[in-house]
Amino acid sequence: MSVGGRTDLPVLLPFRPRGSAQGPAFRLRARHGLMLAAALTLSVGVAEAQTAPGAPSIIATILKWTPLLAQGFALNIAMSFLAMAIGTVAGFPLGLGQVSLLGPARGVSWFVTQFFRNSPWLVLLFYCMLLMPFEVSIGGTIVALPGWLKSTIGLSLPVMANVSELVRGAVRSIPYGQWEASEALAFSRAQTLRMVILPQCIKRMTPPWMNLYAILTVATPLTSVVGVSEAMTLTGDILSSEARTELLVPLYLYLLLWFFLYCYPIARATQALERGFQVR
Amino acid sequence: MPQWTPDQPLIRILDVHKAFGAITVLRGVSLDVMKGEVICVIGPSGSGKSTLLRCINALVTIERGSILVEGQEVNDPKLDKLKLRRKVGMVFQQYNLFPHRTALQNVMMAPIHVLKRDRREVEEQARKLIRKVRLEGKEESYPGELSGGQQQRIAIARSLAMNPDVMLFDEVTAALDPETVKEVLFTIRELAEEGMTCVIVTHEMGFAREVADQIYFTDGGVLVEHGPPKEFFANPRDPRTRQFLDQIL
Amino acid sequence: MIDLQPLWDWFRLLHQTSGIKLTIFYDAFDRARFFNGFLTSIRLMGVCLVASVLIGIVGAWLQGTRFRLPRLATQAYIQFFRNTPPLVQLYFFYFALGSYLKVTTDTGLSVPLVSNFTWAAICLSFYAGAFNVEIFRAGIEAVPRETVEAAEGLGYSRLKAYLYVILPLAFRISLPALNNNLVNLVKTTTIAYAIAVPEMLYVANQIWSDESNVPEMMNVLLIIYVSLVGVLVFVMGRWERAMRVPGYMP
């Protein structure tokens, strides 16, 4: 069976969406942040116009609440880091299981991956929040499981499934010749994976992995629905306590700006990495 | 199992059959390779040449027949593949160097991790081999920085580092630019002249004529005929052989 | 109509013997409202799927025009929707913008002009549409200039070349990414819960609050959603395979 048989005339150019189908675009630019800031300024202006005389200005109100919002946002970030870490650590072996030579291992890994990939994130969050116990005993000591931790675990489940798919895709994208050459050099399958295949996979996996992190970060506000007191919840609380309708648009735009400013460097970094890897 | 001695064939292939699904690729192929012999296998595409090579070092399992390498049956399900692959080295058409390691590391990897040899000894041998394939100075280059011919020579050095008893070459110059083909063929010829047993699948007729002890012609999964190069190219007996040679010479 | 009463009775029996409380089967009221929630979910998913594809097509076209304004506007739209949390977008639309879109009925009540279902549909369609624009753009750009030139050399007008050569190719190339995005859209529709759209998750919440059968309802929800998405993934996968361009490996 001869290897190759490829024509070198490309029938089609490579398919390169800017930014993968799920994550922030790689063409995230400062000007977009400026646009958002401009929208914010405009809405603040409009809101100021509607402010009843004697009431504190919109800008002052937003600034007053910024420290609290920052605390909430910090929780979002913390949850995103933790969920990403747990999901990656769990997803890697799952992905390797999907390419295992053992039929049962492959089947189980595939099923678990598909199950958590096909579940809506919010439903998984509900599931974890409502059905996980509020405390567990590990080796005699009782450890309380706070709401944000249960939510984080809930978020790590789809991350795990996505990482598993990333790993599987990356392993399968390594040309078959690499496996053959390693076999011919008498490497065992485990050695081949460890020394030849996986090191090459790590590079290819990094941009989509970073993309996944961005998706996860913009998914953390979902935890507000199940009662975690993060930035989104706090925004709602602020609005109820201030009870001023003209605050609605500026404050939500302000919250959107926070997320935008966090995702921007990540998108730029991912963009740079992807460019670096495409130059072969 | 009787101990193998050099007066017996190094490789003995007997009536091998191999099919991939519904397509039969090898239909009863038999050939012998003695130690020190250089065999060239030629034939049209799809005639089963590459598959035959892959059967010899157990990258592909056969349905029927037997393959003995130094007396060890390759078709045995209990075969120690790793032991076989230390004896049989293979170089591929697509070089398949590991792109994330330097040339020197590529050559050193297998002896260290598979044969568990001493690192310094392996490095010394690796540098010698790289010198031998005339790529001194390129030890720290990555495969992506080398030309096709250079990569292929590193691939040869990599296989040689395992100290095999026989080397298999699967159309190793087919993917190269014409300018670099010569340097690779030169390397292989040197190896052959030093006494390495080689089984070479190739399209390079001139090279085959110079270097081979025996030429085998396959067509449609069968070994049609074979003979020493002088006779083979001058007086092909079978009409299929004649047709093939007319097309390419 | 098949009489399913024996089936419902079996679930009642299940509750009596094992304590597994699945009122959505044996209680007519819960059954009806859960089914309606299911239908609302399906409706929301359907509307969003179609609308987001249309938005993607229009957006891809706008991105390719010569004029700066539509191009920049489309870019701004895409960046906004792709880099901000969909839930916050939803709240922004429903609460913030919705607060300005109130009409006063005859009785003097202030009622929102746009229902929460509509807001959810709009927001989710634009959210998924933003990704679709990029996907369609990339598909079109993957068709090399030479192919376009070849088509024109054969006498095709620009428009015909697009219709018969470029768009069919672009579509086949985009299909895997598009499917991925549509599957994600279907999963994301659950956020409509947050603005009290009576879809499956919301209704299930009501039921388990009334009946105190949280584990049962959560499991049912999970199974239904996973199956629904699984069916979509399967169907899309079949379609993708049928539409694959032989020999092309992106």
Residue of B49, B82, B94 to mutate, testing the A interface (most A Cβ within 10 Å of its Cβ): B94
Model pLDDT, residue C31: 87
Model pLDDT, residue C9: 84
Smallest CA–CA distance, residue A116 to chain C, in Å, is 8
Chain A residues touching C169 at Cβ < 8 A: 12
Contact between A263 and C83 using a beta-carbon 8 Å cutoff: yes
How far apart are alpha carbons B172 and B95 in whole angstroms?
8
Closest alpha carbon within chain A to C202? A123
The answer to whether C201 and C190 have CB atoms below 8 angstroms apart is yes
Q: Do chains B and C touch (3 or more CB pairs under 8 A)?
A: no
State whether residue A35 sits within 8 Å of chain C by CB.
Answer: yes
Mean pLDDT of chain A: 82
Pair type for strands B23-33 and B11-20: antiparallel
Q: Does domain C30-242 have CATH number 3.90.550.10?
A: no
Sheet of B64-69: strand order equals: B23-33, B11-20, B64-69, B72-73
Model pLDDT, residue A277: 67
Chain A residues touching B174 at Cβ < 8 A: 4
How far apart are alpha carbons B192 and B215 in whole angstroms?
14
Spell out the domain ranges in chain A. 30-273
How far apart are alpha carbons A65 and A57 in whole angstroms?
13
What is the CATH architecture assignment of B11-248? Answer: 3-Layer(aba) Sandwich (3.40)
Model pLDDT, residue A13: 61
Give Cα separations from C213 to A131, C36, C163 (angstroms): 11, 19, 54
Spell out the domain ranges in chain C. 30-242
The answer to whether B115 and B166 have CB atoms below 8 angstroms apart is no
Model pLDDT, residue A59: 81
Contact between B98 and A280 using a beta-carbon 8 Å cutoff: no
Residues contacting residue A153 through CB under 8 Å, at least 6 positions apart: A83, A86, A128, A132
Which tens digit of pLDDT belongs to each residue from A73-99?
A: 999 999 999 999 999 999 999 999 999
How far apart are alpha carbons C240 and C173 in whole angstroms?
9
Q: Do chains B and A touch (3 or more CB pairs under 8 A)?
A: yes
CA neighbours closer than 13 Å in the CB half-sphere of residue C48: 31
pLDDT class of A9 with cuts at 50, 70, 90: very low
Helix residue ranges per DSSP H, C85-166: 86-91, 116-141, 145-153, 158-161
Which tens digit of pLDDT belongs to each residue from C58-101?
A: 998 888 788 888 888 898 888 888 888 999 999 988 888 887 77
Sign of CA dihedral C110, C111, C116, C118: negative
The answer to whether C78 and A215 have CB atoms below 8 angstroms apart is no
Spell out the domain ranges in chain B. 11-248
* SS3 call for C80: helix
pLDDT over 50 (residue A10): no
Q: Do chains C and A touch (3 or more CB pairs under 8 A)?
A: yes
Q: Which two tokens stand for residue A256?
A: 């959107």
How far apart are alpha carbons A106 and B180 in whole angstroms?
43
Closest alpha carbon within chain C to A265? C83
pLDDT over 70 (residue A21): no
Residues of chain B with pLDDT under 50: none
DSSP state of B88: E
Closest alpha carbon within chain B to A5? B175
Q: Which two tokens stand for residue A94?
A: 């799952």
Which tens digit of pLDDT belongs to each residue from B120-130?
A: 999 999 999 99
Residues of chain C with pLDDT under 70: 1, 247-250
pLDDT over 70 (residue A11): no
How far apart are alpha carbons B104 and B94 in whole angstroms?
19
Q: Does domain A30-273 have CATH number 3.40.640.10?
A: no
Nearest CB to A25: which of C79, C86, C187? C79
pLDDT over 60 (residue A205): yes
Model pLDDT, residue C186: 92
How far apart are alpha carbons B177 and B186 in whole angstroms?
15
- Given a contact as 3+ CB pairs under 8 Å, which chains touch B? A
Contact between C79 and A32 using a beta-carbon 8 Å cutoff: yes
Model pLDDT, residue A32: 63
Closest listed residue to residue B87, CA positions, set B199, B208, B201, B215 = B199
* SS3 call for A199: helix
Mean pLDDT of chain C: 86
Closest alpha carbon within chain C to A15? C142
Q: Residues A143, A148, A153, CA angle at the centre, nearest 5°?
A: 80
State whether residue A249 sits within 8 Å of chain C by CB.
Answer: yes
The answer to whether A235 and A47 have CB atoms below 8 angstroms apart is no
State whether residue A245 sits within 8 Å of chain C by CB.
Answer: yes
Helix axes B148-160, B119-132, angle to 10 degrees: 140
Closest alpha carbon within chain A to C218? A127
Smallest CA–CA distance, residue C204 to chain A, in Å, is 11
Contact between A21 and C177 using a beta-carbon 8 Å cutoff: yes
pLDDT class of A52 with cuts at 50, 70, 90: low
Give Cα separations from C244 to B98, C161, C174, C240 (angstroms): 31, 20, 10, 6
Does the ipTM surpass 0.90? no
Q: Which two tokens stand for residue C37?
A: 């929630």
Chain B residues touching A195 at Cβ < 8 A: 109, 113
The answer to whether A197 and A178 have CB atoms below 8 angstroms apart is yes
The burial of C104, by beta-carbon neighbours within 10 Å (0-12 exposed, 13-18 middle, 19 or more buried), is given as exposed
Q: Which two tokens stand for residue B81?
A: 């593949």
Q: Whole-model pTM above 0.90?
A: no
Model pLDDT, residue A12: 58
Model pLDDT, residue C248: 61
Residues contacting residue B146 through CB under 8 Å, at least 6 positions apart: B103, B138, B154
